């Protein structure tokens, strides 16, 4: 168990170093490139993680894609939520490379509840 734990700890450390390679020193607005980069990093992290799980490689291609899809989204959300929670900027969702996306609801002002409600009807 300790060896497996150490392996995952080393993986996490390596993944954070990868994020740092793409980081900007100051928070700036995210571009489409930044969004694509964040998706790429998240799914790459999920693939690296999944390859360390016994039995992953023996799954059928479709099953591997499902696993990576689920965990890729999870890796993306956890990394970004951690960065956002530790950011001094309010109402900004921080991506892995320290670019930010302003809160969706802010862009609608007083009509935000109505606008968001329209998305789900």
**CA-CA-CA-CA dihedral for 15, 25, 88, 96, to nearest 10:** -30
Please report whether residue 7 resides in a domain: no
- 19-32 per-position pLDDT tens digit: 677 676 677 888 99
Please report whether residue 38 resides in a domain: yes
Three-class secondary structure of residue 34 per DSSP = helix
Three-class secondary structure of residue 7 per DSSP = helix
Please report whether residue 76 resides in a domain: yes
Please report whether residue 109 resides in a domain: yes
Q: Note if the pTM is more than 0.75.
A: no
57 φ/ψ sector (left φ>0, alpha ψ -120 to 50, else beta): alpha
- The separation between the first and the last C-alpha atoms of the chain, rounded to the nearest angstrom, is 48
Domain that holds residue 49: 23-119
Q: Residue-wise pLDDT tens for the chain (121 aa)?
A: 567 667 777 877 777 777 677 676 677 888 999 999 989 888 888 898 888 888 999 999 999 999 898 888 888 898 888 888 988 887 888 888 888 888 755 555 555 555 545 544 4
Please report whether residue 1 resides in a domain: no
In contact, 71 and 44? CB cutoff 8 Å: no
Please report whether residue 114 resides in a domain: yes
Please report whether residue 14 resides in a domain: no
Q: How many domains is the chain built from?
A: 1
In contact, 92 and 103? CB cutoff 8 Å: yes
Please report whether residue 61 resides in a domain: yes
């Amino acid at each position: 168990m300790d060896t497996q734990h150490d392996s995952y700890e080393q993986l996490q450390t390596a993944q954070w170093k990868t994020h740092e390679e793409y980081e900007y020193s100051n928070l700036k607005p995210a571009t489409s490139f930044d969004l694509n980069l964040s998706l790429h990093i998240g799914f790459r992290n999920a693939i690296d993680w999944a390859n360390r799980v016994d039995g992953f490689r023996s799954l059928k291609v479709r099953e591997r894609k499902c696993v990576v899809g689920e965990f890729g989204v999870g890796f993306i959300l956890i990394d970004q939520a951690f960065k956002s929670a530790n950011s001094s900027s309010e109402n900004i969702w921080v991506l892995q490379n320290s670019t930010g996306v302003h809160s969706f609801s802010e862009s609608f002002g007083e009509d935000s509840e109505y606008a968001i409600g329209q998305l789900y009807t």
